[in-house]
Amino acid sequence: MTNTVTIDDKNIATIDMTIASDVAKKAYDNTLRAYGASVNIAGFRKGKAPAQIVEKYVGAERIKAEVIDRLFPSEFQKAIADNKLNIAFTPAIESYEFELGSDLKIKASVELKPEIKLGAFKDVEVEFDEFKNPENALEKELEMTQKRFSTLNVVERAATDKDSVVFDFEGFVGDEKIEHGEGKNYTLDLANSNFIPGFAEGLVGHAAGEEFAIDVTFPEEYHEEKLKGAKAQFKIKLNEVKERTLPELNDELAKKAGKDTLEALKEDIQKYLDNMAKNQNDRAKSDAIFNKVADATEIKIQDSMLNREYDAIVEEAKMGASQQGANFDKLVEAEGKEVVEARFKDEAAKRIKNSLIVEKIAQEADLKIEQKDIMEHINQLAMMYGMAPTQLFEEMRKNPNSFAAISQQITANKVNEYLLANNKFIAK
Strand locations in 361-412 (E): none
Query: What is the pLDDT, as a whole number, of residue 396?
Result: 84
Instruction: Report the mean per-residue pLDDT for the chain.
Output: 93
Looking at this protein, which amino acid is placed at residue 299? I
Q: Mean pLDDT across the stretch 25-42?
A: 90
Helix (H) or strand (E) holding 234: strand 231-245
Q: Mean pLDDT across the stretch 376-403?
A: 86
Quick check: 348 pLDDT over 70? yes
Sequence-ordered list of residues with C-beta below 8 angstroms from that of 109, at least 6 positions apart, any chain: 12, 13, 14, 15, 91, 92, 94
Provide the greatest CA pair distance for the chain: 101
Question: Coil, strand, or helix at residue 209?
Answer: coil
- What are the residue ranges of CATH 3.10.50.40 in the chain? 151-245
Query: What is the pLDDT, as a whole number, of residue 1?
Result: 67
Query: What is the pLDDT, as a whole number, of residue 212?
Result: 97
Query: What is the pLDDT, as a whole number, of residue 231?
Result: 95
Query: What is the pLDDT, as a whole number, of residue 225?
Result: 84
Output the CA torsion sign for 301, 302, 308, 311: positive
Sequence-ordered list of residues with C-beta below 8 angstroms from that of 204, at least 6 positions apart, any chain: 158, 159, 160, 161, 190
- What are the residue ranges of CATH 3.30.70.1050 in the chain? 2-112
Cα–Cα distance measured from residue 388 to residue 396, given in angstroms and rounded to the nearest whole number: 13
In this predicted model, what pLDDT tens digit does every residue of 304-347 receive, in sequence order? Answer: 999 999 999 999 999 999 998 889 999 999 899 999 999 999 99
In this predicted model, what pLDDT tens digit does every residue of 281-315 receive, in sequence order? Answer: 999 999 999 999 999 999 999 999 999 999 999 99
- Sorting pLDDT into bands at 50, 70 and 90, what band is 73? very high
CA proximity to 307, closest of 339, 261, 351: 351
- Sorting pLDDT into bands at 50, 70 and 90, what band is 280? very high
CATH architecture of 2-112: 2-Layer Sandwich (3.30)
| Cβ(312)–Cβ(157) below 8 Å | no
Cα–Cα distance measured from residue 354 to residue 299, given in angstroms and rounded to the nearest whole number: 10
Query: What is the pLDDT, as a whole number, of residue 44?
Result: 84
In this predicted model, what pLDDT tens digit does every residue of 212-254 receive, in sequence order? Answer: 999 999 999 888 888 999 999 999 999 999 999 999 999 999 9
CATH architecture of 151-245: Roll (3.10)
Q: What's the Cα-to-Cα distance from 377 to each of 369, 408, 421, rounded to whole Å?
A: 11, 11, 21
